[in-house]
Amino acid sequence: MHRRTFMLGTSAAASLSVIGEDVEAQTRRSRSRQRNEQPSPDQYRMKLGCQSMPSTDEHFQVFARYGVRNISGRAKVADGRMYPTVAELETLKQMAQRHGLSLDMLEPEILNSTHIDRERHPGIMLGQDPDREREIEAFATTLRNCAAVGIPCVKYNMSLLGVLRTAPVEGRGGSEYFGWDLAKAKPPTPLTRAGRVDTAEFWKRITYFLDRIVPIANETRVRIACHPQDPGTPPGGYQGIDNVLGTIEGLKRFVLINESPYHGLNFCQGSVCENLTDPADQIFDVIRWFGERKKIFNVHFRNIHGARNKFNETFPDEGDIDMVRALRTYAEVGYDGMIMPDHVPGMDDPLVVEGKPVWTPRAENFAFAYGYIRGLLQSAQRAHAT
């Protein structure tokens, strides 16, 4: 970040003073504090969640089967409309309730993690009117309709490049671990249809959106949770894009623009780790920074092996991150929302028994992740209740 072109209030400006520090400095400082206190039993109020799509009775039954009780869902919306109606949201919520699920978050029709060259609704991210204004109004309508039916949070992305990956590597049991190796990355084109978007221009587009949407979030009391860039890319741009939300400093700056208790992050632990030079050591202080400021609205509980510019996504129990310590850190900062699987390893073929497929690879690996998270939560809750 080379320029600070936005205005902040006094409290936000004070918080901004730490943005310029590198993560290593914050880690050293935080280690000097005493951390002997353990979370109390009532601090472990986190919930096993899920965002796997589509939102159908069949999928919701699977969630309930594996102990999921809180979910992020997506409404079935009439073709071409950029927001769900109240009736469509009521239908989604009632379907969740039939399976004993709580609809805690909504995936909107716009601002998803799609590469800009494939995006159907690119106005906000391209900064192009009149499409931008129509999309902002659609997002505002989404918030108002969520408020009407009692959905407390909407997740979204502000990404031009989508999710970048290079070739997978072999994982345990014949699985595939997806990841990113910058040295092997081969962009399909030098530039996207967005052209060159430097740091200043990207922040301008982000601020334009937040200036108009954060007041609606405040009015409706519906939280908006933005996902970090996955993964971060080099300074100077990738396909011509400077990914300002692909650094910890950028994420800190982001949550302080129009600072509000309804403006925060869909805190993807995997993506945050991908943007650190030593995630196994640094992630806990990053959790603490955002968690203490109540900017974590949802957690993607993903593990990786590696670090910035070269990593692979693993099963949650075998990456570089101490997931037990991570869960404890969320508890220490008072986080009480969903802890959900995000990306899971892939496999080429379904499990076949007597000639019939009984597991899809995606379902099998998500089931493992649900059980892993549920086990960690139960263990922590019961250990601290005795």
What tens digit of pLDDT does each residue of 243-266 get? 999 999 999 999 999 999 999 999
**What is the domain count for the chain?**
1
Handedness of CA 6, 237, 170, 279 (dihedral sign): negative
Rounded CA separation 142/259 (Å) = 21
User: Which residue segment(s) compose the domain that 306 sits in?
Assistant: 39-383
**Average pLDDT for 91-106:** 97
- Per-residue pLDDT tens digits for 106-138: 999 999 999 999 999 999 999 999 999 999 999
- Per-residue pLDDT tens digits for 36-77: 456 654 567 899 999 877 788 988 998 999 999 999 999 999
* 229 assigned to some structural domain: yes
User: pLDDT value at position 35?
Assistant: 46
Percent of the chain with pLDDT over 70: 84
* 20 assigned to some structural domain: no
How long, in residues, is the chain?
386
* 197 assigned to some structural domain: yes
* 14 assigned to some structural domain: no
Rounded CA separation 292/286 (Å) = 10
DSSP secondary structure of 210-255 = HHHHHHHHHHHT-EEEEEPPSS---TT-BTTB--GGGSHHHHHHHH
Q: Is 137 helix (H, G, I), strand (E, B) or coil?
A: helix
User: pLDDT value at position 41?
Assistant: 47
Stronger pLDDT, 183 or 40, i.e. the higher one: 183
What are residue 220's phi and psi, to 5 degrees? -90, -15
Stronger pLDDT, 362 or 377, i.e. the higher one: 377
* Residue 14 tokens, joined: 């004070």
Nearest to 17 by CA among 248, 290, 252: 252
pLDDT band with cut points at 50, 70 and 90 for residue 334: very high
| 122-131, 171-180, 348-357: least confidently modelled range | 348-357
Q: What angle do CA 375, 379, 380 make, to 5 degrees?
A: 120
* 32 assigned to some structural domain: no
* 7 assigned to some structural domain: no
User: pLDDT value at position 330?
Assistant: 97
Q: 55 vs 51, 102, 329, CA distance in Å? A: 9, 13, 31
Given a cut of 50, whether residue 13 has pLDDT beyond it is no
User: pLDDT value at position 346?
Assistant: 83
Q: What angle do CA 237, 226, 332 make, to 5 degrees?
A: 115
pLDDT band with cut points at 50, 70 and 90 for residue 33: very low
* 58 assigned to some structural domain: yes
What is the pTM (predicted TM-score) of this model?
Answer: 0.87
Domain CATH number, residue 189: 3.20.20.150
| 92-101, 226-235, 358-367: least confidently modelled range | 358-367
User: pLDDT value at position 44?
Assistant: 74
Rounded CA separation 259/86 (Å) = 28
Residue 89 CB-density burial (10 A; 0-12 exposed, 13-18 middle, 19+ buried): buried
* 1 assigned to some structural domain: no
Stronger pLDDT, 380 or 301, i.e. the higher one: 301
**Average pLDDT for 222-227:** 99
What is the pLDDT of the chain when averaged over all its residues?
Answer: 88
Rounded CA separation 193/239 (Å) = 10
DSSP-assigned beta bridge partners for residue 180: 311
